[in-house]
Amino acid sequence: MSHIPVVERIMSQHDRVALRNRALLDERGVHAINVMAAPGAGKTCFILATAERVRDRLRLAVIEGDLASSVDADKVRAAGLPAVQINTGGNCHLDAIQVGQALAQLPLEEIDLLLIENVGNLVCPATFALGEHTRLAISSIPEGDDKPFKYPFIFANVDVLILNKMDLLPYIPFDVDAFCRTVRGLNPDIAFFPVSCVTGEGLEAWVEWLLQRVQRL
């Protein structure tokens, strides 16, 4: 029966580290976004598309979380952005301790916006605070419009939702209106942006919202 207090102590430690991360980011004037999605939803493509559209207005850096490899971090660095790779070695999410260690490797005084690409997963990442200011989830047309029914917690606990790969809508059955109604039933205040990183659809509206949020917080 002692496993419950142990879990509570671990979670409490992570929460304290998340608060320290947040304080450090606030001190340096860095707005951090926790980017969460299933594998293949287009997290890295979305990050790169966002960076391309705000690089003349915000200084960006990226933390990349994966089970293994540095494939995504290499793509980000090739685009000219500072990036730190975190390999979890099997864990299904990033935690505040790992992010705190990554923050120590970044020139925070030269950054306005930090995008943290969490491990591809619709369950665990939403449970762990990292010290972020904004929580963002990405869903995509190929995943189907039933994801909010199957994974309600993440949709109910993010600030903004990106519906990615809208360019595939003519080829894949997906009821956007029903999807949006379900999401807003879980999270009435969520900001919702249908986008395509291929065609650019919806990205300007997302960037305008992002700029306003970074300035406001």
Q: Kindly list the averaged pLDDT for each block of 10 residues, start to end, along the chain of length 217.
A: 50 88 98 98 98 96 96 96 95 96 97 98 95 98 98 98 98 98 98 98 98 87
- C-alpha 147/C-alpha 145 separation (Å) is 6
75 φ, ψ (degrees, to nearest 5)? -65, -40
> For tokens 């864990």, what's the residue?
91
- C-alpha 112/C-alpha 118 separation (Å) is 19
Predicted local distance difference test score (pLDDT) of residue 2: 45
Q: In the 8-state DSSP scheme, what is residue 159?
A: S
Predicted local distance difference test score (pLDDT) of residue 13: 86
CATH 3.40.50.300 fits 3-216, yes or no: yes
Predicted local distance difference test score (pLDDT) of residue 215: 87
What's the pTM value of the predicted model, to 2 decimals? Answer: 0.93
Predicted local distance difference test score (pLDDT) of residue 183: 98
Element (H, E) at 77: helix 71-78
Predicted local distance difference test score (pLDDT) of residue 90: 86
199 φ, ψ (degrees, to nearest 5)? -95, -20
- The domain limits of the chain are 3-216
Predicted local distance difference test score (pLDDT) of residue 6: 47
- C-alpha 22/C-alpha 129 separation (Å) is 10
